[in-house]
Structure 1
Amino acid sequence: MSAAPTHFTRFAAIDWSGAKGSSHRGIALALCEAGDAAPRLIHPPGRAWSRTGILEWLREEAERPTLIGFDFSFAPPHIERGAYLPGEAAPDTARRFWGYVDADSPDADLGAASFLERRRGRHFYLGAADGVKARFMHFRRCEAHFNANGGGKPSTVYDAIGAAQVAKASFAGMRLLHHLGDAVPVWPFDPVPERGAAIVEIYTAIAARAAGLRKGLSKFRDGPALDTALTALGSRPHDPLAHYSDHATDAILAAAWLRRNAARADLWAPAPLSEDIATREGWTFGVV
């Protein structure tokens, strides 16, 4: 569907957060250039990144040859049930759905927790009071393909409870993509650009597997372990961090993985990715 781009010389990975509020220690941004220098953390203008701060950074990158990876789901499942929110008059394409989420999310700093909370029990699982959790376990075609090929079981965006859930982060991310508009192409909803920046969805566990971490483990919490993983991805050791959080190490490793894999044609043209899937659900870069 898409030829592999060759113009990217900068590679960024953003560990994202859907937490309430306007200052998020759960957001980390790492950046590296072509070559083998280790990715470095880009520090926020304040004590911690806000989502709107990341939005401004993306706008600044628009004309630069930067491949940017985000670790949230760019759309909910649609193909499986024929709708994002069955029974609700929501749009049926991803870009229009991003606007729908934004229009019904008054939360601060592009948050979307209230969007989920108002639909708990109908579309989202927020606890035992919502019924049997299995009723909410619906997946995009990308996730189903990844699972079927032994990749694991990524969280569904309809599960909004638990430390590993991605629901709030994903819906906050959809608001971010809506506000970004057409300033930066978002693959595969948009064609791969021949110049400037582009955004892809990533799954940090794929980078961890590629770096040699066995299935079931995906976090690096100290400098030596992170350097071992970076070496496996063709990177030199990193500059020591003051604090080794999962967010920081995920972003650093994912940026190195993006640099190593950005020119792989198979990642830009996975066989299962149809036009319908690309328009409604998107795809995780790295799943083939």
Structure 2
Amino acid sequence: MVPAPDRFGHFVGIDWSGAAGERQRGIAVAICAQGKAVPTLVRPGHVWSRMEVLDWLSSESPDDAIVGLDLGASLPFADMGAFFPGWVESPHDAHALWALIDGITADDPHLSASSFVDHPEVARHLRRHGGRKGEHFSGRGRLRLTEVRQREQGLNPYSNLNLVGAAQVGKSSLTGMRVLHRLPPRIAIWPFDTLPMAGPVVLEIYTSLAAVVAGRPKGRAKMRDHAALDAALTVLGSEPTRGTGPIDDHKSDAILTAAWLRRDAHRPELWTPRDMTPQIAATEGWTFGIT
């Protein structure tokens, strides 16, 4: 289903973090409304916890918001017909995967996912710290179809089953899946849920994609000064921040993503990627903006 052009009135970009601990300097939340005003940071100066982001989404996000979360919303499925081939309890779709993760990690603090990572059946498919690589993890790790398409478009995605290295996304994705499982029914999660006529919609985004669309060179997507951020915002039709000097790249990612969603969320082709079958939508999901 393609939303009506005026379906969304608020646009939210969230840079996410799966790091250990309660509060994460890597989390930033930015929001803007229709128009050209520069997106603003929600609770500027605040160091967010993952639970606080969940609470904000659940109770404070506007009813007409589209929310982009910078994380992998699921794990590879299509390449081998299962999330965890050979395990009888391997979930059949993403909603069941999120429930499994949140159930196994119920006692892990701060919406972390250590217990899931250390589960003996799951660990067979992961690359973990300390040189621990499961027998089913090979090369750079399995990719979802949307990540294969990201590579074809010149981006550099990492497997959500890889938990090692500065560019790993596994921890962010697994902690994010706990959030997705706990969102209230009023919030739809694209493309796993049927898109409702009203209410907030959460979806997966890739901040590097927004940066490239805004004119940043591939491989130099991070913006760490206001001049670079303002140049990118201008490309997206947004007013600049008019700030000076350095800016945290997590904040700049969130601000730019909100502006990109405001400009492009109405485009029908972004809601109907050519390779996103109903099976892919229910299991692996998709990264918004990858066509």
TM-score (norm 1): 0.93
2:138 is aligned to 134
Kindly tell me the number of residue pairs found equivalent between the two proteins. 286
Taking the aligned partners of 2:50 and 2:255, their CA distance within structure 1 comes to: 19
Question: Greater shift after overlay, 193-202 or 70-79?
Answer: 193-202
State the AA in 1 paired with 2:79.
Answer: E
Deviations 1:8-27 (A, max 9, x none): 11000000011112111110
Three-state SS of the structure 1 residue aligned to 2:30 is strand
Q: Does 1:170 align with 2:173?
A: yes
Range with bigger deviation, 270-279 or 177-186: 177-186
Please point out which of 192, 200, 203 is paired with 1:200.
203
Give me the whole-angstrom Cα distance separating, in 2, the residues matched to 1:116 and 1:171.
Answer: 9
Q: How far apart, CA to CA, are the structure 2 residues paired with 1:241 and 1:201?
A: 30
- Taking the aligned partners of 2:240 and 2:267, their CA distance within structure 1 comes to 24
Q: CA offsets, 1:92-145, max 9 Å, x none?
A: 110111010001112212111331134575111014342796346111111112
Structure 1: which 5+ residue stretches go unaligned?
none
Q: Deviations over 1:48-72 (max 9, x none)?
A: 1011101111112456201100010
Could you list the structure 1 runs, at least 4 aligned residues long, displaced by more than 6 angstroms after superposition.
none
Aligned residue for 1:134, secondary structure, equals coil
Deviation at 1:271, TM superposition (A): 1.1
* Partner SS state of residue 59, structure 1: helix
Runs of 5+ unmatched residues, structure 2: none
Instruction: Pick one of 201, 222, 225 that aligns with 1:222.
Output: 225
Match of residue 286, structure 2, among 260, 283, 286: 283
Instruction: Kindly indicate whether the alpha-carbon contact (under 8 Å) linking 1:38 and 1:237 is maintained by their aligned counterparts in 2.
Output: yes
| Separation in 2, partners of 1:205, 1:2 | 24
**Structure 1 residues 14 and 81, CA gap change in structure 2 (3 angstroms):** same
Alpha-carbon distance change, 277 to 250 in structure 1, aligned in 2, over 3 angstroms = same
How far residue 4 of structure 1 moved from its aligned partner, in angstroms, is 4.8
Alignment of 1:123-272 (within 5 A): 123-127=125-129, 128-130=131-133, 134-135=138-139, 137-147=141-151, 149-238=152-241, 240=243, 244-272=247-275
Name the structure 1 match of 2:43: 43
Q: Per-residue CA shift, 1:215-268, capped at 9, x if unaligned?
A: 111111111111001000000011538961111111011110010001100001
Distance 1:5 1:100, change over 3 A: farther
CA RMSD of aligned residues (A): 2.0
Partners of 1:277 and 1:113 in 2: CA distance: 27
Structure 2 CA distance for aligned equivalents of residues 55 and 242 of structure 1 = 31
Q: Which moved more, 1:114-123 or 1:229-238?
A: 114-123
Query: What does residue 33 of structure 1 align with?
Result: 33
The one-letter code of the counterpart of 1:75 is S
Work out whether residues 26 and 247 of structure 1, in 8 Å CA contact, stay in contact via their aligned partners in 2.
yes
2:279 is paired with a residue whose SS is helix
| Cα separation, 2, equivalents of 1:239 and 1:61 | 28
- In 2, Cα distance between the equivalents of 1:56 and 1:33? 21
User: Structure 1 residues 203-212 or 138-147, which shifts more?
Assistant: 138-147
